[in-house]
Amino acid sequence: MKVAFRLPQRILIFLYSKRPHYYFSKIYEIRKCSICMVAADDPKKAIENYERSLKMMLRTIGEMHPDTAVTYYYIGGAYSDLGGSENLKKGIENFEHSLKIYLKTLGEMHPGTAATYNNIGNLYSHIGGAEDLKKAIENLKHALKIYLKTIGEMHPVTAVTYNNIGDTYSRMGGAEDRRKAIENFEHALKIYLCTVGEIDIDTAETYNKIGSEYIFLGGPEDLKKALENYNESLSICNELEESDLAEKIQNIVYALLRDPSIKK
């Protein structure tokens, strides 16, 4: 059983009025001890605690404060963990509150702002409607633009954003969308190879994503490229002893090897 430390709200308000720095450290302690401890195990309880924290922040340090933005961000993440269309929409709503504050306090060209654009894009992508996917691409490209100017291209976080854009184009499903997905996955792969190296699960999963897109394209040359990428992914998974993913890829490789168009 996890025991969360909490102070009554009226005491926290008093502490802030008398000793603001003490209040600030105490509310951070509460967020760390009584909120983050439950986030992974119980998103609903996490939301309850985050919203209690948010209410106190709005009454004391105000809305236009980066720490208030962080709390909106955590609420958005907890709704994301719950899953389901309605929860994802609530997640977007909270991330957009966070984004509004970051834009006014940290500015657009800040990794925290980029992370929020990224999360908004991911939730729209998972909702999955045609308009949602367009909004996803728009937000993810905002995130990518900021990352490229702040942390640079050769950074694993930038690679994640390229992968997220690729995933969204993949969900759109058309042939041109598939090719755009491959283009973004290949950007991500290049970065992973230069940063985390070849023998890494992110590298393996990106090879796997590229292989999947080539299978959907379906032409003989596409299937050959699919096989090449799946073999790269399989080799890494075997090296890392990632047996579950390796087994799935092995089954696909066997099926591709039986396809007569690859042998021509």
Which tens digits make up the pLDDT trace of 132-181? 999 999 999 999 999 999 999 999 999 999 999 999 999 999 999 999 99
Cα separation of 206 and 186, whole Å?
A: 8
What pLDDT was estimated at residue 246?
87
Radius of gyration of the chain (CA): 22
What pLDDT was estimated at residue 18?
39
Which residue stretches of the chain have pLDDT < 70?
1-40, 262-264
Cα separation of 36 and 46, whole Å?
A: 7
What pLDDT was estimated at residue 17?
41
pTM for this structure? 0.84
What pLDDT was estimated at residue 35?
52
Q: Where are the alpha helices (DSSP H) in 128-219?
A: 130-150, 156-172, 175-195, 201-217
What pLDDT was estimated at residue 67?
86
Neighbouring residues of 227: CB distance < 8 A, sequence distance ≥ 6: 211, 253, 256, 257, 262
Domains of the chain: 1-107 (1.25.40.10)
Give the residue among 170, 127, 125 at the shortest CA–CA distance from 143: 125
CA angle 190/138/119 to nearest 5° reads: 75
Contact 202, 181 (CB under 8 A): no
What pLDDT was estimated at residue 36?
54
Cα separation of 85 and 146, whole Å?
A: 28
207: its two tokens? 């090879």
pLDDT digits (tens, 9 = 90+) for 35-49: 554 445 778 888 888
